Amino acid sequence: MQQPSVIATIQTSYNVLGGVECIGDAEAWIFGNNNTITQIDIDGTVKETVTTACQNGPDGISFTKTRELIYSDSNSRTVNIVRQGKSETLITTPPGWIPWKLYSTRAGDILVHVHEEELSYNRKNEIIRYKGQEIIQPIYRDGQNNPIVGDGVCARFMSENKNEDICVSNIYLRTVVCMDRAGRVRFRYDGSPARREKSFGPRGIVTDALSRIIVADIHNNCLHILDQDGQFLKCVDDCQLEEPSNLSVDTRGRLWVGCAGGKIKVIQYFNSLLTKIVKALATCQH
């Protein structure tokens, strides 16, 4: 890994960023504290805007396997898909459960973090794996009956690694949990190897072309980088990140980090030539 450097700082129109999802090598879809989802480029230029019916704004966004934009709406209990600029209902969550964060896997499944409708600090949370509109796997506890998702009011961020592991970031439990395709826990990471001053505050989570896991730590204004087995590699703490909470990786291997005040910092954190080699090898394998 090279010395991380900020190659762009984007001031968005949102006071609070709810999510950042890269598409291609220099663009991303973002949303915040109103009912729009906006596509911007690395210069901050708005390319497209989708207006939703979400009363308080979307709760999560992702892309399907065919690169269609999807978003969750807590008021209607739906996950919606955008086609030709118009929204269609894709999933309706079970009665009493509200959709929040989303993640679309390489196989085309959609992971939906849902929480109980009841407003309680101890409300239940689950991750539901959908194939189309069919529930194929609810995720709540591991084989030893320990919580994977846990109770509480905070969003759970999700990402899939190249080996199909699902990584879940949980600020309520102050931990990252990584499980295999069957839902068996492979490891937990609590931030202690990084030796930060404050308690671990995991938020956004992504994986990169080399199967590394990157986690935003909102309490310590840094990023934790792990290998695919949960071993701590490095902390990115020298890019003046303010309350990093959302992460995405573009096709050039650059991190887009959503921070306080609606800012996005684009960070080059390892050699771009290596990214091209990895992508070329993956193409040859297919």
Considering only CA atoms, which of 82, 88, 2 is closest in space to residue 38?
Answer: 82
Considering only CA atoms, which of 89, 87, 93, 82 is closest in space to residue 116?
Answer: 93
Q: Which residues pair with 109 in a beta bridge?
A: none
The reported pLDDT for the residue numbered 286 is 45
Distance between CA atoms of 171 and 226, rounded to whole angstroms?
A: 17
Number of domains in the chain: 1
Structure tokens at 174: 């102050």
What are the φ/ψ torsions at residue 274 (nearest 5 degrees)? Answer: -60, -40
Q: Which residues pair with 72 in a beta bridge?
A: 60, 79
DSSP structure string for 30-93: EE-SSSEEEEEETT--EEEEEE---TT--SEEEE-TT--EEEEETTTTEEEEEETTEEEEEEEP
Note whether 93 and 99 are within 8 A (CB).
yes
Cα distances from 220 to residues 153, 230, 268, in angstroms, run 21, 19, 20
Distance between CA atoms of 63 and 75, rounded to whole angstroms?
A: 21
Count CB neighbours of 110 within 10 A: 22
End-to-end CA distance of the chain: 26
Q: What is the pLDDT along the chain (286 residues), one digit of tens a residue?
A: 568 889 999 999 999 999 999 999 999 999 998 999 999 999 999 999 999 999 888 999 999 999 999 999 999 999 999 998 899 999 999 999 999 999 999 999 999 999 998 877 788 999 999 999 999 998 887 777 777 888 888 889 999 999 999 999 998 889 999 999 888 899 999 999 999 999 999 999 999 999 999 999 999 999 999 999 999 999 999 899 999 999 999 999 999 999 999 999 999 987 655 555 555 554 554 4
Domain that includes residue 107, residue range: 5-285
The conformational region for residue 257 under phi > 0 = left, psi -120 to 50 = alpha, else beta, is beta
DSSP classification of residue 260: G
Please state the length of the chain.
286
Find the CATH number of the domain harbouring 93: 2.120.10.30
The reported pLDDT for the residue numbered 118 is 80
Note whether 222 and 265 are within 8 A (CB).
no
Q: Which residues pair with 151 in a beta bridge?
A: none
Starting at the earlier edge strand, list the strands of the sheet with 255-258.
5-11, 263-268, 255-258, 246-249
